[in-house]
């Protein structure tokens, strides 16, 4: 079956205007008659909740953390793109659109990406008006910097804390609406299920993470803004509470999961130092501008890096990609780091790292220059590893960072379940097979501030929604299911901890559904995940009780979902017999070792419909064919 993406007809540049001209509107004084649930308070959720409340809708907002301000978006470092062309270097909306489509390796929907580029400028205006302290020039105007995958400077930033400042801007707008009484705020609440009544999303079931109480919430529409699922790998740059639970439970209620195998792995992270490691820390990509990546030529060379002479070092990126060198795109850099460490040439105590060496840059440009440019990153590295990167090369390694896949949505950001909208990293929409730096923040805010306020109105204004009270059968059933699931987790009373299972899953995912994949590995992974899932339900030990604050119970629920999602990711990766963006299949590469797309057969969005779990996940694949009317498909090369 082919999926209807609901994209307006006409020229690319006219589509969004056309949609805006045609949508149904809800009269101002009728908006207060509608209830909207917004799950998540990251950039997508907070901006959506604030904008909708401002319009007059009654909003109920949920998040896991104790405050909306702590949503994972807070951690984004580098910046946010917009086609303002302030540096006058020739940027246009088209160019931003084009870079994003190309960066995504032609696996995203043209119309969505164009709209994103169109809206980008308004986001900056909005953020500045809210008091977001972006970096400025001495003249008082906004400053820009350049980021990977683009030849123009279009990234707006607030030191290394852009996500924090943008989120606080949205959070403050959100707080204002709480003050005005338009948002009911539920922090420390986890969504456990979606309620689909008469074929439409009409509410959710949540667990109060403090009291453990399971509750029903009714609404006319549900907005899912719950972020990405990178924590399926256990170790990632995501925050510890990032999860797939909300999206996965919607999936089980009928929402299609699109392109689950598209996972971005960031090349410059601080490597793992031991089994106890609980998360990985990202170091800005900008380090590769001055650092040189190398490993020893010989295996298991245990000498101090400074004692390894020049001729016994392998600057493998410079060797393999003479023209781009250390600045190859994220996926290429990550993959090559994996290759050299797999060969046994990795460095550090775990052997899972490569050197990023600044000795040349320090000698050439002076320590002051490096300090000025990367001082805070060097400090962070020093703090975490206790090694001084001015004196010995940094150790870096790739880490899971962002998930392009997510719930399938149409042009209006509505999933295939009417009334369920999905925003931000939780949807699959704009980044195709690979996301460019500084574009996730852009997308989250575009969705929340500038798309959903219109498309939600279109849905509500065009539907005849009956009244729901919360005592309908669908609510009853969902609540019971949530409670049973929890009881089941608590009743296994096995001998292995939730963390152990999560670590094991993470290892399978990293080794076999990670930076590069092949058929054999994926098949093994599927089997191993199934076995691990069975073992989980026999041996997991969840401490404590359900009627109290219980972090390990929360984690248990999330790991249970990752154990299902992991299988779907592997299956998607197995079925996609091509390499595209971050999905690299060993079998499908060019002679130069680059990702080899198969546009004939795989130029589609793979949207999976859940059909039950019976030892393995049953699903049906729906395809949304990607038509490229306005750009020409090309092969990437970075030689």
Partner 1 sequence: MSNDNMQFDLKIWKQEDGDSQGAFQEYHMEGVSEDMSFLEMLDLLNEKLIKNGDEPVEFDYDCREGICGACSLVVNGIAHGPKEETPVCELYMREFEDGQEIVIEPWRAAAFPVIKDLVVDRSAFDRIMAAGGYISTKTGSAPEANTIAVDKEDADKAFDYATCIGCGACVAACPNSSASLFTGAKISHLSLLPQGKHERKERAVRMVEQMEKEGFGDCSNHAECEAVCPVGISISAIARMRKEYMRAVTES
Ligand X SMILES: Cc1cc2nc3c(=O)[nH]c(=O)nc-3n(C[C@H](O)[C@H](O)[C@H](O)COP(=O)(O)OP(=O)(O)OC[C@H]3O[C@@H](n4cnc5c(N)ncnc54)[C@H](O)[C@@H]3O)c2cc1C
Indicate which residue of 216, 330, 517, 558 is catalytic: 330
CB of 103 to ligand X, least distance (A): 12
Q: How many binding residues for partner 1 (CB under 8 A)? A: 81
Which of 42, 271, 291, 433 is the binder for ligand X (CB under 6 A)? Answer: 42
374 binds partner 1 (CB under 8 A): no
CB of 454 to partner 1, least distance (A): 10
139 binds partner 1 (CB under 8 A): yes
75 binds ligand X (CB under 6 A): yes
Which of 5, 51, 60, 77 is the binder for ligand X (CB under 6 A)? Answer: 77
Q: Which stretch binds ligand X (CB under 6 A): 300-308, 419-427, 534-542, 610-618?
A: 419-427
C-beta atoms surrounding 628 within 10 Å: 13
Spatial contact of 416 and 256, defined as CB atoms under 8 Å apart: yes
Spatial contact of 77 and 282, defined as CB atoms under 8 Å apart: yes
Least Cα distance to 428 among 179, 143, 112 occurs for 112
Which of 7, 36, 37, 43 is the binder for ligand X (CB under 6 A)? Answer: 43
SS (H, E, C) 495-561: CEEHHHHHHHHHHHHHHHCCCCECHHHHHHHHHHHHHHHHHHHHHEECCCCCCCCCHHHHHHHHHHH
Whole-angstrom distance, CA of residue 276 vs CA of residue 272? 9
Q: Which is nearer to ligand X, 217 or 313 (CB)?
A: 217
Q: Which is nearer to partner 1, 540 or 595 (CB)?
A: 540
Which of 144, 245, 286, 415 is the binder for ligand X (CB under 6 A)? Answer: 245
Residues 484-503 that bind partner 1 (CB under 8 A): 495, 497, 499-500
Residues 155-194 that bind partner 1 (CB under 8 A): 158-159, 161, 164-165, 168, 171-173, 175-176, 178-179, 185, 187
If you count them, how many residues does the chain have?
A: 639
69 binds partner 1 (CB under 8 A): yes
The half-sphere exposure of 334 on its side-chain side, counting CA atoms within 13 A, is 25
549 binds, among ligand X, partner 1, none (CB under 5 to 8 A by kind): partner 1
Q: Which is nearer to ligand X, 190 or 594 (CB)?
A: 190
306 binds partner 1 (CB under 8 A): no
Which of 52, 63, 83, 607 is the binder for ligand X (CB under 6 A)? Answer: 63
* Contact pattern from residue 453 through residue 482 relative to partner 1, giving x for each residue in contact according to CB under 8 A and a dash for the rest: x-----------------------------
Residues 523-582 that bind partner 1 (CB under 8 A): 541, 543-544, 548-552
Spatial contact of 539 and 590, defined as CB atoms under 8 Å apart: no
Residues 336-375 that bind ligand X (CB under 6 A): none
Residues 246-265 that bind ligand X (CB under 6 A): 246
What are the tokens at 270? 């601080």
Q: Return the bridge partners of 606, or none.
A: 623
Whole-angstrom distance, CA of residue 135 vs CA of residue 133? 7
Q: Which is nearer to partner 1, 47 or 112 (CB)?
A: 47
Residues 6+ apart with CB under 8 A from 386: none
Give phi and psi for 592, each to the nearest 5: -85, 0
| Residue 541 annotated to the active site | no
Which of 5, 51, 245, 429 is the binder for partner 1 (CB under 8 A)? Answer: 51
Any long-range contacts for 461-468 (C-beta under 8 Å, 24+ apart)?
461/23, 461/24, 461/25, 461/26, 462/24, 463/200, 463/418, 463/419, 465/200, 465/202, 465/220, 465/419, 466/198, 468/197, 468/202, 468/203, 468/218
Residues 6+ apart with CB under 8 A from 88: none
CB of 322 to partner 1, least distance (A): 35
In whole angstroms, what separates CA 117 from the centre of its chain? 19
Which of 23, 75, 621, 631 is the binder for partner 1 (CB under 8 A)? Answer: 75
243 binds, among partner 1, ligand X, none (CB under 5 to 8 A by kind): ligand X
Q: Return the bridge partners of 264, or none.
A: 402
Would you call 542 helix, strand, or coil by DSSP?
A: coil
Spatial contact of 552 and 486, defined as CB atoms under 8 Å apart: no
190 binds ligand X (CB under 6 A): yes
343 binds, among partner 1, ligand X, none (CB under 5 to 8 A by kind): none
Whole-angstrom distance, CA of residue 45 vs CA of residue 435? 20
Least Cα distance to 244 among 535, 510, 569 occurs for 569
41 binds partner 1 (CB under 8 A): no
What are the tokens at 427? 């949807």
Q: Which stretch binds ligand X (CB under 6 A): 356-364, 382-390, 433-441, 577-585?
A: 433-441
CB of 241 to ligand X, least distance (A): 6
Least Cα distance to 55 among 447, 457, 422 occurs for 457
Whole-angstrom distance, CA of residue 339 vs CA of residue 320? 12
What are the tokens at 501? 């299972």
Residues 88-127 that bind partner 1 (CB under 8 A): 122, 124-127
Residues annotated as catalytic (active site), given as ranges:
330
Interacting residues toward ligand X by CB under 6 A: 39-45, 62-65, 71-73, 75-80, 162-163, 190-191, 225-228, 237-238, 242-243, 245-246, 282, 401-402, 424-426, 437-441, 444
């Amino acid at each position: 079956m082919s999926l209807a993406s609901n994209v307006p007809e006409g020229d690319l540049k006219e589509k969004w205007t056309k949609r805006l001209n045609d949508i149904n509107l809800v009269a101002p004084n009728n908006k207060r008659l509608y209830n909207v649930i917004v799950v998540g308070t990251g950039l997508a959720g907070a901006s959506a909740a604030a904008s909708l409340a401002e319009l007059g809708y009654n909003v109920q907002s949920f998040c896991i953390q104790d405050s909306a301000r702590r949503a994972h978006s807070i951690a984004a470092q580098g910046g946010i793109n917009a086609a303002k062309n302030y540096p006058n270097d020739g940027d246009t909306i088209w160019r931003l659109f084009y870079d994003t489509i190309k960066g995504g390796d032609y696996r995203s929907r043209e119309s969505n990406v164009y709209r994103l580029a169109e809206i980008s400028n308004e986001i900056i205006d909005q953020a500045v008006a809210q008091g977001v302290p972006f970096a400025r020039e001495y003249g008082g105007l906004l400053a820009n910097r350049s980021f990977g995958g683009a030849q123009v400077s279009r990234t707006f930033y607030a030191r290394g804390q852009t996500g924090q400042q943008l989120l606080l801007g949205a959070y403050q707008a959100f707080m204002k609406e709480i003050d005005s009484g338009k948002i009911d705020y539920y922090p420390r609440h986890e969504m456990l299920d979606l309620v689909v009544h008469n074929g439409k999303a009409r509410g959710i079931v949540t667990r109060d993470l403090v009291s453990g109480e399971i509750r029903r919430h009714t609404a006319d529409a549900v907005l899912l803004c719950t972020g990405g699922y990178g924590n399926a790998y256990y170790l990632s740059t995501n925050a510890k509470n990032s999860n797939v639970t909300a999206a996965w439970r919607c999936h089980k209620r009928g929402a299609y999961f699109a392109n689950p195998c598209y996972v971005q792995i960031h090349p410059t992270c601080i490597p793992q130092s031991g089994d106890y490691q609980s998360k990985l820390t990202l170091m800005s990509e900008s380090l590769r501008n001055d650092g040189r990546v190398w490993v020893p030529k010989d295996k298991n060379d245990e000498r101090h890096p400074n004692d390894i002479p020049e001729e016994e070092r392998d600057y493998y990126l410079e060797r393999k990609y003479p023209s781009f060198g250390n600045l190859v795109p994220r996926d290429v850099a990550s993959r090559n780091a994996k290759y050299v460490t797999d060969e046994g040439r990795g460095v550090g105590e775990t052997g899972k790292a490569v050197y990023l060496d600044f000795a040349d840059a320090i000698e050439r440009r002076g320590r002051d220059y490096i300090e000025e440019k990367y001082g805070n990153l060097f400090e962070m590295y020093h703090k975490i590893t206790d090694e001084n990167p001015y004196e010995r090369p940094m150790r870096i390694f790739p880490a899971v960072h962002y998930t392009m896949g997510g719930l399938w949505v149409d042009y209006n950001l509505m999933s295939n379940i009417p009334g369920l909208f999905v925003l931000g990293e939780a949807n699959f929409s704009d980044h195709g097979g690979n996301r460019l730096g500084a574009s996730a923040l852009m997308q989250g805010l575009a969705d929340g501030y500038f798309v959903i306020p219109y498309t939600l109105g279109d849905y509500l204004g065009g539907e005849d929604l009956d009244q729901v009270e919360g005592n309908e059968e669908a609510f009853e059933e969902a609540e019971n299911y949530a409670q049973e699931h929890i009881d089941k987790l608590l009743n296994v009373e096995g001998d292995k901890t939730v963390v152990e299972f999560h670590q094991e899953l993470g290892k399978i995912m990293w080794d076999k559904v990670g930076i590069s994949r092949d058929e054999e590995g994926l098949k093994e992974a599927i089997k191993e995940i199934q076995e691990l899932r069975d073992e989980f339900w026999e041996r997991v030990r969840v401490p404590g009780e359900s009627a109290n604050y219980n972090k390990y119970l929360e984690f248990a629920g999330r790991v249970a979902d990752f154990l299902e999602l992991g299988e779907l990711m592997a299956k998607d990766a197995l079925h996609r017999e091509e390499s595209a963006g971050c999905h690299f299949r060993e079998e499908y590469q060019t002679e130069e070792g680059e990702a080899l797309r198969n546009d004939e057969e795989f130029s589609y969005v793979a949207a999976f419909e859940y059909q039950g779990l019976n030892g393995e996940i049953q699903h049906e694949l729906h395809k949304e064919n990607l038509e490229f009317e306005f750009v020409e498909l090309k092969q990437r090369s970075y030689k």
